[in-house]
A and B are shown apart, each in its own frame.
Chain A
Amino acid sequence: MILIEILPDKCDFCGCCVGVCPEDAIELKEAEIRIIEELCTNCAKCVWCCPFEVLKFNKEAASAKREKI
């Protein structure tokens, strides 16, 4: 389950997130971005490196997941 949320309307498609993703889990085209669900480990490095606050760590989903467990 991906706990990272992308707000594509804010995105400038610069590629910082792709560069720091250790899992090659982000796909970026000219003006399209998506997280590849099967590869993402929710490490959040993409969130920390986004200059424009496009990626967010979804805290609610994270705590919901924790409760489930």
Chain B
Amino acid sequence: MKDQYDIVVVGAGPAGSMAARFAAEKGVSVLLLEKDRDVGYPVRCAEAVVSAGLEEFISPDKKWIASEINKFSLFAPDNTEVVLEFPFTGFVLERRIFDYELAKQAASFGTDVLTRAYVNGLLFDGNKVCGVKFEHRGEQKQVKAKVVIAADGVESRVGRWAGLKTHVDFREMESCAQVTISNINVKADTCYFYFGKDVSPNGYLWVFPKGDSTANVGLGVSGLVGKNRSALSYLNEFLETNFPGAPVLTSIAGGVPCSITLEKISAPGIMLVGDAARQVNPISGGGIISGMRGGRIAGRIAAESILSNKPDHIFSYDKEWHEKVGKKHEASNRLKEGVFNFSDEKLNNLAHSFLKVPMEKRTLGNLCRTALINQPSLLFDIAKVFFV
């Protein structure tokens, strides 16, 4: 490790590793710092992604794919099950191996990587960030950088130290609890979603298979729900009812910022990516691909700014992110507010309508159409979501 780099990236999740990779690829020097002793562990993720998004970055490899998904199974509050074909290929990942591969990818372009490096402050030159302070195996150290990229996750503090408003509104924080359980009966090609106020108020509970006898089972509740009852308590009740006695291989907590992207994701000498920038798709809670896209844009722009010696060029990141991804998240945030407020009765009616559609025609698009024909009042809800 040197005491000065062009770019220091804080956090070696998918967004951080991609920022490092796409910067290093341009020929600038990059250091990637990770607070934990391992890249990729502990996993705080339900691990599902769409293949096409992933392939922008890495070729699918069996060693980090636990299941290939081509069906969705949706459970209404009255337990009506609707199965539909997923129009894309999906994967349930082995994040602990996947994240490792991405960090290796960054390293292969010349990025230096250091684990057990806990960043606890920033270095400033006037109001411009010019490096980070960190603790490494009990020693306080510092490293200088022309640009710091904060990829420090949902618990991000780096952006705050640079004066950016990064805290998540408690109503938009999905506090999640998840277990990986085995000896259960699930179809390896199907992702299961459960809806209803008793199971998962204002969201969904997921069962994502990792093979045919193991699955990630989890849910998230917003701070508004969590005030009265925790995610863990909802999850335990579901497990007792649906998978009693199943061996629990892992049990984790995690937070998903289900909001639109922060208003500002760059400031002098610093850029924010991934969960730290709140680059999660608010309706699905998925943040792997969008975080990687954020990392790719930020890494490239940071390198360009250094190579052209134009420090202000990093501010163009905000606009490029918004055009390419951010504005889609704004639409999906409006949809989230509509859909997750559906009553149990409405969800049941929807499921009953869906069941009348023949299996071969059960695509997501057709389901929306059928829902509208069978229950025209839904149109008002969708209209409300998009236009009000």
Contacts and interface: CB of A to CB of B under 8 A. Distances in A.
Whether A and B are associated in the same complex: the answer reads yes
Interface of A: 12, 14-16, 18-22, 24, 28-30, 45, 48-53
B253 interface: yes
B254 A14 contact: yes
Interface of B: 35-37, 42, 44, 116, 118, 153-157, 160, 167-170, 173, 175-177, 220-221, 223-224, 226-227, 230-233, 251-255, 257
A29 B170 contact: no
Given A29-B118, A51-B175, A45 B37 contact: no
A49 B155 CA distance: 12
B223 A20 contact: yes
- Would you list the 8 A-B pairs with minimal beta carbon distance, nearest first? A15-B155, A16-B255, A18-B155, A12-B253, A51-B231, A14-B253, A51-B175, A51-B253
Contacts of B257: 19
B255 A51 contact: yes
Contacts of B177: 51-52
B252 A48 contact: no
A49 B232 contact: no
9 contacts: A16-B175, A16-B255, A19-B255, A20-B170, A30-B116, A49-B223, A49-B255, A51-B176, A51-B230
A21 to B, nearest CB: 6
B288 to A, nearest CB: 17
B223 A48 contact: yes
Contact of A48 (B42, B44, B226): B226
A38 to B, nearest CB: 16
Contacts of B232: 51-53
